[in-house]
Chain A
Amino acid sequence: MYQPPSLLEKWIQENNELVNKCKQQEAGGGVVSRDHSQSSLRWCSSEFHKLLRKIQGIPPHVDHTQLELAVVCNTCVCFTAQSQFSEAELLLKEATERVLQMTGNNADTSDPLVLWRAVLKSAGNTALHPHVLYLLCLQWTLWLAKCQLENIGELQEMTSLCETVCDGVGDGSPSEAKRRLAKSPLLVMDPKRLTELLQICTSIAQGAEKLNEGRSSEALSDLQAASTMPATRALVAYTHLLSGSCLAHMNRPQMALQCYKKALETDSRCVCALYRSMLIYRQLGNTQAEIQALRLLHSTLMLPPASEPVLGGIHPISPSLLLSSQSLSRLFSVPSALSVLYSLALKCVLSGRVTEGVEHYLDLLAALHSEDQHAVKVDAEVSVLPRMLELYLEAGTALLITRRPADCMALCNEVISTTLELVPEKVVLEEPEERIGGDARGLSVEGEDKVAMLLWAAAAYLLQGHCHAHLKDWKQAVTHYTRCINLVVKVRLKNRDFQPQIPAADVNVKHGKDLCALQRMKGLSLAWRGISFTQMDQLREALRDLQLSLQAFPDYTGAGLWCGEVLWRLGRKHEAAACWEKTWSLTTQTSVEKLPLYLQDPQSGPLLDSVELRLRIQELGLT
């Protein structure tokens, strides 16, 4: 006779003990490793599931239903926390069917929305209603985790209902709660907190989705509304971040920056906001601010990942579980520390803060060589970081600019010793269009791009030539430029509609990076060998080289000016004047920015003063 109540009490007790154990483990979650908490979660879910099967072993009964639904909720939470969505979904489906069965309704439908409407209706205003709503919240969680936002939209009117009633489930006055402690089943996750979490996460996910679809203004208003919701700092920061992205999308960079700033103020660990603001600065051309942002971003990324602050316990269902859609992860993605460091270094060098840039380059190289650096999974960021040899060459260039030729030469030696053995005797550069993407990178190591290898070695020689020119060791410079030229001429061009003799500027752009680099390198090395010869007073050789250089790369003004100079010195003053005039008439360099750092005109070395040249022309005209 006493059997049913005592059984019920036993089950409630069992459930409550499990819930307490769960909560204890969560409270200690900051200390123990992630692995451990996962295993304890697994244990909890299996225990809850066992209990649930015991309870569901008897036909649905009004007295038991409250307990049963509570246990269903707890099991569901545990399953969801472990990303076992299909199991959780199955549980929910069974539970709704049992509720319907108990209330005497029957819905012969597999459509979850219809089913839920039926359940809500049948639960009506009974004592079950809050529990059914909580179940609905869990369904909501699942849909959100599985990015089924359209279902959530359908349920929106129900969810508004939800938030009003959900308050009443676990959350009562303290005394009431104490009174019920022994009698009523406890819940693993507080329904109120869950609804709050769900609401803000849904807003964020929907905002991201709308932003993705281009409905920025619509998304913006939603996100602004969401930013006032009660939630953790990180989530609020996300709403600001997304608002900023919307504004950036709507072409309001300054307002976007404000939003990113707000995001950072809310949560100082919101690296993404920093990254996004950096992108805005880049877009605005504010180099100083961009560098500042990059530096901050890098130092933030280098911070050890601090343990999450334990405030009021961690909940099994984390925001990261709910914010897993692709559009969100794309919005929240941040490049790795190494590629940030690289961007910083390059930006510094390009914007004239070379000394700083050199430091960053050296840091980067050290990081790449360090013992701690390991092949950690990097997905999309690999492409941001250039090939290691290019890094060496860029660093070498930066070193040369800061007048450290010896260091530059050391780096170049490294590059040469690595590549020279692999440089083929002859290489044919054909179908440049197909070579552009550098898709050979991922294919095979054996067939690593021979052309690239050659270009790297040649560039290293070129840099070494520049170093010697910087040191005014002209003989050595000539030697190294010659080596560079010898490598470059190994490449045979083979293309149906391309004439290597007279390349037009637009052809350079159209054809591949390799080809462009090749022509540029040929022009530079010949011109600088010519300049070196000039310095050694070997004017005939100098003239030959400079003219060849102009053939290979007519856009290079340095070669034109020096060609005139040599002609002048040879006494062919009118030719010289014509040459200078022609050079000045050329439009200034078009595609220098796109060239790698090491292929840009070296700032060191002997220079010609245009004013002085014009004076000479004037004198020539006078005589």
Chain B
Amino acid sequence: VMEGRCAVETWAQFGFSGGSYKVKILCGFGTDVLISDASSSPAELKISQDCLVVGADEVSSLLLVGSVLLTLCQRDASWLLTLYKTPKQTASTSHEEFGSFHLPLVSAVDCGAAESNRGPRKTSVLICIHSGYVEASSPSNASAESTVAQDHFHLEPLLFKLLFGVEAALAKSPVILCGLPDGRLCFLPLRLPGSRLRVLHSLEQPVCFVGASVVTETGHARCLVAAGERGRVVLIKTDNAGSEGGSAVAAFTEGCVPGPVWCGCMDKSCFYYSTGSDLLRLDLSEGSSARENKERGEETSGTTAAALQSPSSLNVCRVIALAEPACSTAGDVQLLAVSARGKLQKICLPVGRDNEGLSKLPSTQVGRSVRDLLSAIGDVCERASVLKTVIKSKNQFLRLLNHAVSISFLLMADTNTDLPIKEKPIRCYAETSWSRLLQKDSLNLVCFLHNSSPFVLERGWTLSITVSPLSCSSSPAGESSSTNSSFPFHDLCPGETFEASLPIAAAGDASFPMTVSCSLIFSLSSLLGEEEVAASFAGLQSSCVSLPLSTLTVDWLHALQLNSPIATHKMATVQPCSAAADSIQTFLSSRQLRCSGRTDRGGESVPKPEPEKYSASVRVSSELVRDTLKPQKSSNLDTKESMRNPEDLYKIALSTSVVHARGPNGAAVKLTAKEINVGEEESTDKEATIEVQIESSSLPVVCGLHHAVLCRIQVQNTLIYHKLISENVLFYLFLLPWTNPPARLLVTSLLFLLYD
């Protein structure tokens, strides 16, 4: 029902930093009550020590009743309501404690989880209830009451007696009502000998507002209202036609109102509360008026519950605190509110149903109403824009999630079908290169992530590369750890390639071959931001989806540094340090050589003349090699690049050239490929074979390279000659220094492993 608009007028602006402080508006002045609070808002107002009246920690709420100051705080295992006497003379500010009441804590089961996210925000409500009429209170009390009337309510005597007992009513004792974060509503008759804190009701969610409403002509409220943080509201009224005895009983009507309740206030007939996104009004008088009209006992609770169902919106958002509404004589209601942005606002509510004809308004009032309308429009605009941004961000988020799911599906499908790498929609391949940084050579791996799928890889995706040595035997336990690097990237559009480069080994560090596993990782938190994930998907905070892309191997051949004449020249000229290092290496290896006491033929063509000590060779049927490589001959060979494919090897082989290179540990290597004929002596079965010979002074290098070459040939075989090959055409010939038993053992075991 659109009853009218409310005008919002901003009065003042406070600089809030957007935290969730407990803001309380106190109308009126003259209270000398201050309290030291551990969690106060940022101090803009310095309060001197002289003003300190009570030094109490973690006071969650306080209330002044006459000359008594009450504080509520939580001690170890109980709630503690402490009474202080305010001094009669103003000379001393210190308040004297003269009583305290305990109420044991109960373990709040369901509100604990919700609370923990929001930190230690424990609010409680403390109000004072008087019986009967406003005039009935003693005159000495009246002056104090006028200043702090905010939390004082006058309840209908019958309801008061029903709830708090005749003794309290007879003694005219005010009753303190406190709402606790565990949902309990407790009361304490203040001036009754031997009274204690007792529980009136439990809302089962943190109580955030308690008040009294439905004020009759005589000035006392007929309905006590308590609202919980998550929208549960209890209305406590007198039910005259209640039990079988025919006497009045207190009726507790529970209901739920939409939205979280941030704060609330009451006027004579309505309960106003803010959900953050809106300010709502709940008309409580309907229930009671309906009863008076219809005199039907059964429907009273029904109508009250119905009133709870239909709060009317006032279209004011982000209100975090409300003050007692002020009713003007004309009947319109003004609310004082503080918004989350720190604005102090005056909200004028529409008068109600009895709107007189607007045409009769004088011009000044017209101007005012136009201003009101404009400010209302402004407020609605602000609210609309807030909602719009929320919707937009949610849509965006949904779109991103949809993409992520599609991509995941694509990748999952890939792993099932055995597509060749090059045909996969999202694939990853890599290159190796040597680089020199800070006078240290290191082998770099450049990974290329190519997106040929129709989707854009957006925020939230990360390329993760895990490099681990294939054989863990080379290093002792614990050290065989793999390195893991992740590269978050933004928006990889279809057809684009993302390049990630990482060092995988330093010179001299020879733990080849290595396995490089590439995978794509999708995480919610990097898509949404930590807080939002924590807020909406608690429990998914650290979870992410990992989708494997491909597994690559970096072997010894990749790690070779080719010595083209130019390259060596360059090295020699530009980097003398390296040459020096090499010469040291040479020296060391020569010493080693001398120790082992074996001389070998010197390699004439090797740039740095070193005696090759070990050598291995592989013979492959040239026919086979040729057949294998025919369709893919277009590839080019770059001397600066390490060999990536067997075709390079083949090229080397075909040209019968000799490749001089250096292994990752700096040892010189000579790779020779030549065509020879095998078995021409004994049989007619003459076969042209290619022999690849690997010679180096370093045993690890020879072994590693041998292994790499074998692997590659084998890979070729299994890939293409699946159906053709019936007989193994590979021959192995080892030209090893057999006098060295450990080396022999190593190589044989290596071979055994390879053909396992």
Q: What is the interface of chain A, defined by CB distance below 8 A to chain B?
A: 336, 338, 368-369, 371, 373-378, 381-382, 385, 387-389, 392, 414-415, 418-419, 421-427, 445-446, 448, 450, 453
Tell me if B99 is interfacial: C-beta within 8 Å of chain A. yes
* Partner pick for B188 among A369, A375, A378, CB 8 A cutoff: A375
Residues of A within 8 A of B98 (CB): 374, 376
Q: Does B403 contact A (CB under 8 A)?
A: no
Residue of B66, B141, B248 touching A422 (CB-CB under 8 A)? B248
CB-based contact A369/B172 at 8 Å: yes
Which of A368, A414, A448 is B165 in contact with, Cβ under 8 Å?
A: A448
Q: Is the CB of B185 closer than 8 A to any CB of chain A?
A: no
- Across the two chains, which residue of chain A brings its CB closest to B200? A445
Q: How far is the CA of A525 from the CA of B246 in the complex (A)?
A: 25
- In the complex, the chain B residue whose C-beta lies closest to that of A378 is B194
Given the complex, which residues of A lie within 8 Å of B164, measured CB to CB?
A: 445
Contact: B165 with A374, CB < 8 Å?
no
CB within 8 Å of A: which of B92-111? Answer: 98-99, 101
Say whether, besides A378-B193, A414-B170, A425-B246, A371 and B138 are in contact (CB < 8 Å): yes
Contact of A388 among B170, B188, B250 (CB under 8 A): B170
Question: Judging by beta carbons under 8 Å apart, are B247 and A373 in contact?
Answer: no
- In the assembled complex, how far is the CB of residue A452 from the closest CB belonging to chain B, in whole angstroms? 9
Which residue of chain A lies nearest to B140 when distances are taken between CB atoms in the complex?
A371
20 A-B Cβ contacts within 8 A?
A374-B83, A375-B188, A375-B192, A375-B193, A375-B195, A376-B98, A376-B193, A385-B193, A385-B194, A388-B167, A388-B171, A418-B161, A421-B248, A422-B158, A422-B247, A425-B247, A445-B164, A445-B165, A445-B198, A448-B165
Residues in B neighbouring A377, C-beta threshold 8 A: 99, 194
Q: Which of A418, A423, A446 contacts B170 (CB 8 A)?
A: A418
Within 8 A of A (CB), among B262-292: none
Query: Is B425 in contact with chain A by the CB < 8 A criterion?
Result: no
- A389→B194 contact, CB < 8 A: no
A446-B191 contact given A374-B98, A374-B99, CB 8 Å threshold? no
Contact flag A446-B99 (CB < 8 Å), given A382-B194, A423-B247, A424-B247: no
Instruction: Write the nearest CB–CB distance from B190 to chain A, whole angstroms.
Output: 6
The answer to whether A375 touches B194 (Cβ under 8 A) is yes
Those of B147-198 within 8 Å (CB) of chain A: 157-158, 161-167, 169-173, 188-196, 198
Q: B68 contacts the other chain (Cβ, under 8 Å)?
A: yes
Q: How far is the CA of A382 from the CA of B192 in the complex (A)?
A: 10
Query: B189 touches which one: A375, A424, A425 (CB < 8 A)?
Result: A375
B245 touches A426 (CB 8 A): yes
Query: What's the nearest-Cβ distance from chain A to residue B109, in Å?
Result: 24
Cβ-defined contact, A371 with B170, below 8 A: no
B249 contacts partner chain A, Cβ-Cβ < 8 Å: yes
Pick from B162, B169, B170, B193: contact of A392, CB under 8 Å: B170
B67 at the interface (CB under 8 A from A): yes
> A445 to B163, Cβ gap below 8 A?
yes
Residues of B335-356 whose CB lies within 8 A of A: none
Q: A385-B194, A387-B167 are in contact. List 19 more A-B contacts (CB 8 A).
A: A336-B193, A338-B193, A368-B191, A375-B189, A375-B196, A382-B193, A388-B166, A389-B170, A418-B170, A422-B158, A422-B248, A423-B247, A424-B247, A425-B246, A426-B246, A445-B164, A445-B198, A446-B163, A446-B250
- Against A, the Cβ 8 Å flags (1 = close, 0 = not) of B438-471 are 0000000000000000000000000000000000
A454, closest chain B residue (CB): B247
With CB as the reference atom, state the residue of chain A lying closest to B176: A375
Given the complex of chains A and B, what is the CA–CA distance between A446 and B196 in angstroms? Answer: 15
Once the chains bind, are A371 and B166 in contact (CB under 8 Å)? no
Nearest A residue to B99 by beta-carbon distance? A376
Cα A376 to Cα B172 in complex, Å, equals 16
> With A388-B167, A418-B170 in contact, do A371 and B66 touch (Cβ < 8 Å)?
yes
Docked complex: B738-753 residues within 8 A CB-CB of A: none
> What separation, in Å, do the CA atoms of A605 and B66 have in the docked complex?
46
Which A residues touch B83, using CB under 8 A? 374-375
Q: List the B side residues contacting A378 at CB < 8 Å.
A: 193-194
Interface string of B242-256 (1 = CB under 8 A from A): 010111111000000
Task: Given A381-B194, A414-B170, answer yes or no on A427-B99 (Cβ-Cβ < 8 Å).
Answer: no
Q: In the docked arrangement, what's the CA distance between A446 and B199, Å?
A: 11
A445 neighbours in B (Cβ, 8 Å): 162-165, 198
What are the 5 A-B residue pairs with the smallest beta carbon separation, nearest first?
Answer: A425-B246, A424-B245, A382-B194, A424-B247, A445-B165
B68 surroundings in chain A (CB, below 8 A) = 374
- Chain A, Cβ-Cβ closest to B248: A421
Name which of A378, A388, A423, A453 has the most chain B CB atoms within 10 A of its CB: A388
Q: Which residues of A contact B163 (CB under 8 A)?
A: 445-446
Nearest-neighbour CB distance to chain B for A463, whole angstroms, equals: 16
Assuming the contacts A388-B170, A445-B163, asked whether A368 and B193 have C-beta atoms less than 8 A apart, the reply is yes
The distance in angstroms between the C-alpha atoms of A423 and B188, with both chains bound, is 24
Residues of chain A contacted by B189 (CB below 8 angstroms): 375
B244, closest chain A residue (CB): A426
Asked if A419 and B190 sit within 8 Å, CB to CB, the answer is no
A420 CB to nearest chain B CB (Å): 10
With both chains docked as a complex, state the minimum distance between the C-beta of B85 and any C-beta of chain A, in angstroms.
9
B138 CB contacts on chain A under 8 angstroms: 371
A419 with B246: in contact, given A368-B193, A385-B193 (CB under 8 Å)? no
Chain A hits for B166, CB < 8 A: 388-389, 418-419, 422, 448, 453
A446 partner residues in chain B, CB cutoff 8 A: 162-163, 249-250
List residues of chain B with CB within 8 A of the CB of A427.
245
